[in-house]
Structure 1
Amino acid sequence: MKTYSLLNARRETVQSTEPGLLGGHRRSRIYGRLDCPGALRALARDGYVKHRVFFADEATARAAGYRPCAVCMPQAYAQWKKAAGRSG
């Protein structure tokens, strides 16, 4: 059975039999859809791959301290930005 490495809410790598639904970048702490145009461009440039992480869902990505991508998840990003503005 194939297993996938995902990040959990504590930023620990865990093994799952289900692939991640979202991809993220460890340095920028941004997550988004796997077909995100911005992420695909970065992957094509090659340096992005070693910092790529995967999440089972949005709640886990946010709990791990990642924010939504403004390119592929504009509504989630707007909600995140509004909430961040209230708390800071």
Structure 2
Amino acid sequence: MKRHTEISQTLLRSKIKSGEINFGGNLKLKIYGLLSCSSGKRMKMENRVFFKSEEEALENNYRPCGHCMKEKYKQWKNNLYP
């Protein structure tokens, strides 16, 4: 997990292009989702974190976003998702 405030914009773009960062999350709400999610794009920079994989987000006790990951969110809500 990498915090947005601890990484430069140039390095962030590089890590996204290389596949080192694939998901974004909200530090306070413990929600993760796609980098293209409109909800994620609106969050404050100091609350934003990045993950390489869904497994990494789940290991850090984050739940799927209800906007950009609807099916996985429904599974999580019904206790069918790890």
Q: What TM-score comes out, normalization by structure 1 length?
A: 0.67
Query: Alignment identity in percent?
Result: 34
Which AA in structure 2 matches 1:83? N
In the alignment, is residue 67 of structure 1 matched against residue 57 of structure 2?
no
**Aligned residue in 1 for 2:11:** none
Which AA in structure 1 matches 2:49? V
- Alignment partner of 2:49: what SS? strand
Gaps of 5+ in 2: 7-14
Superposed displacement of residue 37, structure 1: 1.3
Give the number of the structure whose alpha-carbon radius of gyration is greater.
1
Instruction: String of CA shifts for 1:29-76, please: whole Å, max 9, x gaps.
Output: 000000001112x24xxxx11111000111110110000000000011
Let me know the Cα RMSD of the aligned residues. Answer: 2.2
**Alpha-carbon distance in 2 for matches of 1:31, 1:22:** 7
Gaps of 5+ in 1: 1-6
Which AA in structure 2 matches 1:30? I
**Aligned residue in 1 for 2:38:** 37
Number of residue pairs aligned between Structure 1 and Structure 2: 67
**Aligned residue in 1 for 2:20:** 19
In the alignment, is residue 77 of structure 1 matched against residue 78 of structure 2?
no
| Bigger proportion of residues as strand | 1
